[in-house]
Chain A
């Protein structure tokens, strides 16, 4: 099951040229970029690991793509996303999209739990979380 998080997630995966074009747009707006990765695909997992510090004062997309590629090399089968932060008026993430995903995404299971008064609570359980961190995608 292909997970859809962030911008462009319903489109086919971007090529490096397309990613470069997005980075060029981001840098043109003066937004610093940062690269993050995770192996927990849960949609409520907001805290991805940072790949290095956010990158300020860059002018050329190649520099950001370089860091993405370094991260891909270190974590060839993790989810990797690129964030752009608008430090101007909005003070929030302006653009965030996935630049790498595992070859195989096992998807989620819906757990039902009966609680008091026959109420049902639902829980989304990613199958990969059954395996310990670091061994989730091979």
Chain B
């Protein structure tokens, strides 16, 4: 924000012109922060604005940390661009209606919905859309009460806690139980809708869950669907992407796959995908955790002396003893 003020002196003159200022402001009224709008013929340096907002830091982290998800990243970039341009428009005194940023993330478990929501909160904070940029992740239990009159205060409290940041509702379709029309979830949805409409400058609501169940949730709650501008689908990862994710996780944990292990690990992922309860990146993480366990026991059982090489390298048998290969 200081960046705004620092550019002030260059345009010191127009405000002193007196009466001219307000009429040519476009009649939209002041932007609200009391700063004089830039004159009509002024120009601003986009590259500098972009650098000052540090938005690229977040976007780069998003690119580096998340494998695949091209469509998701594109959408996030578009939102970042819009907010940046809106900020510039505001400085020219142009009307800017804050965009509706409530979102719905659909996709299988482990496709990165929560991670993207976290990055999104940070990004919106950098761009000045959110004041705090924290993420409050909740599920039905945190929103819906257990008896009459319990739900409204509970939902409101969660919403208040999320203000200034992002409210992430995981498996949001559980809020609505079609089979029980007196379920308190409906009350929670109504309060949610009301706050999403009235306090939309204070918080961003992200609903997340499986695609098909979210679709039926929206079908029975049309009001919710229309208040959410961005429906983003997180596709399942391909085998290559999963392998890349695994490599990244291993690198972060200070491990490496031995030369023969690479193919075994790929084989493992391919087999694991066929099995029930496959959760994309989360399954990869769990597989690696178990491989680390086997690796540690193998080393201890072997005895003798070990070096850096042995301590960091996972061998094929660390994966092959998994029941996936039975």
Contact = CB atoms under 8 A, between A and B. Distances in A.
Interface string A25-59: 00000000000000000000000000011010111
A58 B153 contact: no
A55 to B, nearest CB: 7
A63 B153 contact: no
Contacts of B199: 62, 66
A64 B153 CA distance: 14
A61 to B, nearest CB: 8
Contacts of B159: 63
A60 B134 CA distance: 10
Contacts of A61: 164
Contacts of A86: none
A59 B167 CA distance: 13
Dominant secondary structure of chain B at its interface with chain A: loop
B140 interface: no
Contact of B164 (A52, A55, A57, A62): A62
Contacts of B132: 59-60
Interface string A3-16: 00000000000000
B161 A57 contact: yes
Contacts of B163: 58-60, 62-63, 66
For A61, A62, A64, which residue has the most chain B Cβ atoms within 10 angstroms?
A: A62
B202 A58 contact: no
For B132, B134, B163, which residue has the most chain A Cβ atoms within 10 angstroms?
A: B163
B160 A55 contact: yes
Interface of B: 131-132, 134, 153, 157, 159-161, 163-165, 199, 202
